[in-house]
Amino acid sequence: MLFTTFVVTAALAVYESTIYLSQSSGAPTSTSGGTTDAQNQTITTNGTTIVTASATETLLTASRNNSTSSGTATSSSARPTNTQPCNGYAEFCSRKYSNITMIAAHNSPFNIEGNIAANQALDVTTQLNDGVRMLQFQVHKPNDTSPLLLCHSTCDLLNAGPLVDYLTTVREWVDQNPYDVVTILMGNSDVLTPQNFTDPISSSGLQDYVYTPPTVPMTIDQWPTLAEMILTRKRVVIMLDYEADQTAIPWLLDEFANMWETPFSPTNPDFPCTQDRPPHLGRETSLERMYMANHNLNVDIQIAGLNIDIPASTELNETNAVTGYSSAGNMSESCQAMWDGRPPNFLLVDFYNIGSFNGSVFQVAANANGVTYNRDSCCGTERRRSGNAAPAMRISGMAVAGAAFVMAFLLS
């Protein structure tokens, strides 16, 4: 990852009170996409709405408090037991979105081999297949006529193409995986107005899946379960780090109203789990919000007279490991000790497929979640081809030239 010392000047919104937003639509009559034909049934009993979806030999259930119910049962059916995995685990279906540790791919689109600014080795479809459930990246608009582009710091250094193309690929995966909830976190690197992001999201088809929260900010107790998000087909959470306006666009979430982060672009292998962004957030408020642990180690180098940071790729077997100093596992445990037993909601990593064994970061998440991880499920074709070797990173002439033109700040 390339990093300069430019400072973000955008102000963060401060929410002194709760803002109530329009709630997303209710349960559909069938699921969308994939090969599963799941017919839904809604049962209201004792003030609770239960939505079930049966598909062949699997079953998915969700419940939601119904404040408008008279409490009269419209069905006496007993609540069934869930057997359908959500995000890969049946145990997750009844858990709130805010009560699960998910692996996040730092700069997900930037998997261009040999480019100094690359943060991943595998493409986004493979990332999702392997179990990544948050996709994080920077977005830039080089000029007034340009579409939003996926560029790392500057489009002269790394350009992964239009945002709409990437989001379309994600939507195609979401179509084919109807029991998964995905989070997208976009870095608004040029501090654009949020309306710039609506067209690419709508054109990609993801608009049909976006989750709209009932309030801003959302505390950890207010998030729905994965089953409810899946059965209502509102299973893509989209966040913007700067300039989000949920009163105007309720489904484009303000990241820092809903979660906080540990120090980003870290060069300290201690990986402290201190609250960093937004600044000056009190401990009690922090305990009520989700949080993301930035666990992508960088190393300082000099190129063309600039001090920059690049991923410490030779340390990935330790950084992404389950145990040991500077490991992802150690950070997860340290965070739990520091934040009243709560592990990170999102663990942001570089080259997620590399570690003490292939995909070891998923073992860290499984440990935090109290579930069993199948090591053979990771990681794409890269696992067989290159084993546990770190990706080759070379500083090309283009990268050096690009570094000299890094005039934009890097958010993460």
Number of neighbouring beta carbons within 10 Å of residue 339? 16
Q: Does pLDDT of 62 surpass 90?
A: no
Q: For 175-188, what is the mean pLDDT?
A: 97
Q: Does pLDDT of 345 surpass 90?
A: yes
What is the model's pLDDT at position 113?
Answer: 86
- Catalytic residue ranges: 106, 152
What is the model's pLDDT at position 17?
Answer: 58
Indicate the DSSP class of residue 220: T
- φ, ψ dihedrals at 170, nearest 5°: -65, -45
- 25-59 pLDDT, tens digit per residue, is 333 333 333 333 344 555 443 444 445 655 445 57
What is the model's pLDDT at position 163?
Answer: 98
Kindly report the CA angle at 115 between 184 and 101, in degrees rounded to 5? Answer: 30
Band of residue 226 on the pLDDT scale cut at 50, 70, 90: very high
Euclidean distance between CA atoms 356 and 77, whole angstroms? 48
252 sits in which H/E element = strand 252-254
308 sits in which H/E element = strand 306-311
Using alpha carbons, select from 129, 108, 92, 106 the residue that is nearest to residue 378: 129
pTM of the model as a whole: 0.82
Band of residue 176 on the pLDDT scale cut at 50, 70, 90: very high
Question: What are 99's two structure tokens?
Answer: 């009560």
Band of residue 120 on the pLDDT scale cut at 50, 70, 90: very high
Q: Does pLDDT of 227 surpass 80?
A: yes
CB-based burial of residue 406 (10 Å sphere; 0-12 exposed, 13-18 middle, 19+ buried)? buried
What contacts 169, CB < 8 A, 6 or more positions away?
Answer: 124, 125
Q: For 233-240, what is the mean pLDDT?
A: 97
Q: In Å, what is the CA distance from 374 to each residue of 123, 138, 180, 362?
A: 21, 31, 17, 9
- 348-360 pLDDT, tens digit per residue, is 999 999 999 999 9
Euclidean distance between CA atoms 50 and 61, whole angstroms? 7
Q: Does pLDDT of 381 surpass 70?
A: no
What is the model's pLDDT at position 299?
Answer: 81
DSSP three-state, residue 267: coil
Q: Does pLDDT of 173 surpass 50?
A: yes
- CATH 3.20.20.190 applies to domain 89-404: yes
Between residues 364 and 397, which one has the greater pLDDT?
364
Between residues 192 and 314, which one has the greater pLDDT?
192
Q: In Å, what is the CA distance from 126 to each residue of 170, 209, 259, 383?
A: 11, 21, 27, 11
Summary mean pLDDT of the chain? 80
What is the model's pLDDT at position 324?
Answer: 97
Q: For 80-107, what is the mean pLDDT?
A: 92
Q: For 329-344, what is the mean pLDDT?
A: 98
User: Taking the domains of the chain in order of start, what are their residue ranges?
Assistant: 33-84, 89-404
Residue whose entry in the numeric block shows the structure tokens 């997303």:
24
Q: For 286-302, what is the mean pLDDT?
A: 91
Q: In Å, what is the CA distance from 52 to each residue of 91, 111, 180?
A: 16, 39, 16
Band of residue 399 on the pLDDT scale cut at 50, 70, 90: very low
Question: What are 344's two structure tokens?
Answer: 């990170």
Q: Does pLDDT of 67 surpass 80?
A: no
Q: Does pLDDT of 82 surpass 60?
A: yes
- 126-172 pLDDT, tens digit per residue, is 999 999 999 999 999 999 999 999 998 888 888 889 999 999 999 99
Q: For 213-232, what is the mean pLDDT?
A: 95
Q: For 118-133, what is the mean pLDDT?
A: 96
Q: Does pLDDT of 293 surpass 60?
A: yes
